[in-house]
């Protein structure tokens, strides 16, 4: 159409009619140009739009990066309900009887729900050679009402209703909602004649002491792990003696390591002093690589409160040690009156395969090498007396003794390398929170670069289109 207006070859004569026609067509042309350009933003507007998109993309990449590093994203409560489940946790429904029990596979994590006054069943398919461990972490809502006896019970049973194990975990005197974990086990030890052989076994989970607790369901995280048998059978007697003296707390300058929001997001730390901020109702997870022959220890210190708070919070600070299959080994609790307090774990033995034949939990649980977990909880009731915080936390971690060679297994654990400590584990422990921070920033950078590339591509298309429109006019 433009060619018919001004694109004719050679001169064109003009007259009155022609002049009027040109004026009409000129007005139409101006109208079409105005319409075409009306929706086009100015250069300043385009720059502002691009900036907004870039900021939005960066903001969108931050929560994902924070989650990858185990750090709660903005707008997420740090209370008990913010427990970080394993990213690959699969949903599973507990059955009300054995006939409908869904299968739990070793090496996988599952997410389920436990209503009040309900007993749930899950199934395992086990061979005759491997030891099997199941951990169940219960997470009530942050506003749940709990009784002093409230908790969970976990048992493993065979098809003839023989009990392979029974374990219970409670929330404690503080009645503060937070993640608690109980475990179940099927061993092939000659010392335990029941629950032997290949076949189907059942994991039974139920709430305990619910008379005064709120009726809402609790979330569950469930994991299953298998341990192969030894190539050559050894002693079935626990060590007769071990160093049971209370270790001296580790000293030195503190490094910051904020801790994770769940077992799968635990921050790796090693021997040293680590600092963090903790708020009432919050639980922090750390993991410590402990090799065969090594003896871990830990002390958690809560700083003094700021302000005019007063009173006393019972069992305000809780410190719990779990082994690599999340079995409770030892714990310590201390009340809080606004002045600095500390909770130290009682001595546990060095890691030894034969510890499993001992009766006390704090010895029995030290049965294999791997990542041990230190879980710190600050009771929600602290806020009522001393404010919302945050409060300064120091975690003194000790790992005594040189790592030794472990027993020779006939096969591999599922998941793999659970009962090993690698050079990478030790490096991560030395870095502490620094490694997590680097991972977060790297994720943000990658997310930002990716988003920026998309925006630049869109801007490039936009610019080319604008130039073509300009040439067309």
DSSP class per residue in 238-285: --S----SPPPPP-S-EEE---BSSGGGPEE--SEEEEEEE-TT-EEE
385-420 tens-digit pLDDT: 999 999 999 999 999 999 999 999 999 999 999 999
Quick one: 330 and 287 in the same domain?
Answer: yes
Q: How far is CA 379 from CA 72, 116, 182, 281, 345, in A?
A: 19, 23, 20, 5, 18
Has residue 30 been placed in a domain?
Answer: no
Of 227, 249, 283, the one marking the end of a domain is 227
Q: Do 91 and 198 sit in the same domain of this protein?
A: yes
Encode pLDDT of 105-151 as tens digits. Answer: 999 999 999 999 899 999 999 999 999 999 999 999 999 999 989 99
Query: What 3-state DSSP class applies to 444?
Result: helix
Instruction: Give residue 211's pLDDT.
Output: 66
Looking at the fold, whether 137 and 64 belong to one and the same domain comes out as no
- Last residue within a domain, chosen from 193, 227, 261: 227
31 lies in a domain? no
CA separation for the pair 318, 384 (Å, rounded): 18
Residues 390, 273, single domain; the answer is: yes
- Both 124 and 172 in one domain: the answer is yes
Please, are residues 271 and 398 in contact by the beta-carbon 8 Å criterion? yes
In a domain, 8, yes or no: no
For helices 433-472 and 423-431, angle between their N-to-C axes, nearest 10 degrees: 80
Q: What is the pLDDT of residue 190?
A: 78
- Does residue 333 belong to any structural domain of this protein? yes
Same domain? For 200 and 307 the reply is no
**Same structural domain for residues 379 and 457?**
no
| 5 falls within a domain | no
d(CA 140, CA 172) in angstroms, rounded, equals 14
Structural element, H or E, at residue 104: none
Domain count, the chain: 3
Listed residues 227, 261, 288: the one ending a domain = 227
- pTM to 2 decimal places: 0.78
CA-wise closest residue to 260 among 287, 281, 279, 280:
287
Q: Mean pLDDT check: name the lowest of 158-167, 196-205, 356-365, 460-469.
A: 460-469
Q: What is the mean pLDDT of residues 216-222?
A: 95
Residue 461 and residue 320 share a domain: no
∠ Cα 371 375 381 (to 5°): 175
**CA distance to 7, 59, 182, 263, 435, per residue, from 326 (Å):** 82, 35, 8, 8, 23
- What does the pLDDT read at residue 404? 94
Using alpha carbons only, what angle is made at residue 223 by residues 221 and 227, rounded to the nearest 5 degrees? 165
Residue 111 lies in a domain: yes
Q: Are residues 148 and 213 in the same domain?
A: yes
Domain that holds residue 472: 52-78+442-473
Q: Is the pLDDT of residue 28 over 90?
A: no
């Amino acid at each position: 159409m433009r060619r018919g207006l001004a694109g004719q070859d050679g001169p064109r004569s003009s007259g009155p009619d022609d002049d009027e026609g040109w004026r009409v067509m000129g007005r139409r042309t101006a109208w079409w140009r105005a319409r075409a350009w009306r929706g086009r933003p100015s250069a300043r507007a385009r720059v502002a739009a691009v900036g907004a998109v870039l900021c939005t993309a960066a903001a969108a990449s931050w929560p994902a990066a924070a989650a990858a590093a185990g750090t709660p994203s903005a707008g997420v409560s740090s209370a008990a309900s913010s427990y970080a489940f394993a990213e690959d946790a699969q949903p599973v429904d507990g059955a009300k009887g054995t006939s409908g029990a869904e299968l739990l596979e070793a090496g996988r994590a599952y997410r389920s729900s436990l209503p009040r006054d309900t007993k749930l069943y899950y199934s395992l398919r086990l061979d005759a050679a491997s030891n099997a461990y199941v951990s169940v972490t219960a997470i009530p809502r942050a506003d749940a009402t709990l009784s002093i006896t409230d908790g969970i019970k976990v048992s493993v049973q065979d098809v003839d209703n023989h009990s392979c194990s029974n374990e219970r975990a409670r929330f404690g005197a503080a009645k503060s909602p937070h993640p608690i974990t109980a475990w179940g086990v099927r061993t092939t030890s000659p010392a335990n004649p029941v629950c032997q052989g290949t076949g189907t076994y059942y994991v039974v989970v139920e709430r305990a002491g619910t008379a005064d607790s709120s009726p809402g369901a609790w979330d569950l995280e469930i994991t299953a792990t298998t341990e192969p048998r030894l190539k050559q059978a050894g002693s079935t007697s626990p060590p007769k003696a071990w160093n049971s003296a209370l270790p001296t707390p580790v000293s030195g300058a503190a490094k910051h390591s904020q801790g994770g929001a769940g077992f799968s997001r635990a921050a790796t730390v090693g021997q040293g002093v680590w600092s963090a901020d903790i708020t009432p109702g919050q639980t922090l997870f750390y993991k410590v690589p402990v090799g065969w022959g090594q003896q871990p220890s830990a002390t958690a210190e809560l700083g003094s409160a700021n302000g005019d708070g007063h009173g006393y919070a019972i069992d305000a600070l809780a410190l719990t040690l779990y082994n690599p299959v999340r079995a409770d080994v030892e714990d310590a609790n201390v009340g809080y009156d606004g002045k600095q307090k500390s909770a130290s774990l009682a001595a546990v033995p060095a890691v030894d395969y034969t510890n499993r034949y001992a009766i006390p939990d704090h010895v029995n649980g030290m049965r294999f090498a791997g990542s041990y977990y230190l879980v710190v909880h600050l009771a929600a009731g602290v806020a009522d007396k001393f404010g919302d915080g945050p409060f300064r936390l120091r975690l003194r971690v000790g790992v005594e003794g040189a790592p030794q060679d472990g027993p020779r297994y006939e096969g591999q654990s599922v998941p793999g390398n659970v009962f090993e400590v690698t050079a990478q584990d030790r490096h991560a422990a030395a870095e502490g929170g620094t490694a997590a921070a680097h991972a977060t920033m790297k994720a943000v950078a990658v997310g930002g670069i990716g988003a920026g590339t998309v925006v630049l591509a869109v801007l490039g298309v936009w610019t080319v289109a604008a130039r073509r429109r300009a040439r067309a006019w």
